């Protein structure tokens, strides 16, 4: 498991990006996108502040401000 094998706690998990996941040997683009979407969902659920370069699912770009697409992503 990614977080157990690499000792990644939640405070680090929320800052992972494509490159960090590659460094952790997550080689599949699909797996990286899945993990990034789940990290996004965790941030939303726990009110974690988003930084400028944080991953946001594509569907969020097309929705009105304040609308959530957690079920769609």
Is residue 62 packed enough to be buried (19+ CB in 10 Å), middle (13-18) or exposed (0-12)?
Answer: exposed
How many whole angstroms separate alpha carbon 33 and alpha carbon 57? 9
pLDDT (mean) for 49-62: 81
Give the tens place of pLDDT for each residue, 12-36. Answer: 889 999 999 999 999 999 999 999 9
Q: Where are the domains of the chain?
A: 2-62
Q: Is the dihedral of CA 6, 57, 27, 50 positive or negative?
A: negative
pTM assigned to the model: 0.73
């Amino acid at each position: 498991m990614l977080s157990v094998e690499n000792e990644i706690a939640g405070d680090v998990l929320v800052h992972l990006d494509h490159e960090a996941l590659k460094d952790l040997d997550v080689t599949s683009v699909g797996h990286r996108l899945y993990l990034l979407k789940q990290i996004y969902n965790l941030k939303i659920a726990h009110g974690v502040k988003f930084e400028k370069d944080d991953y946001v699912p594509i569907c969020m770009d097309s929705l009105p401000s304040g609308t959530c697409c957690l079920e769609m992503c």
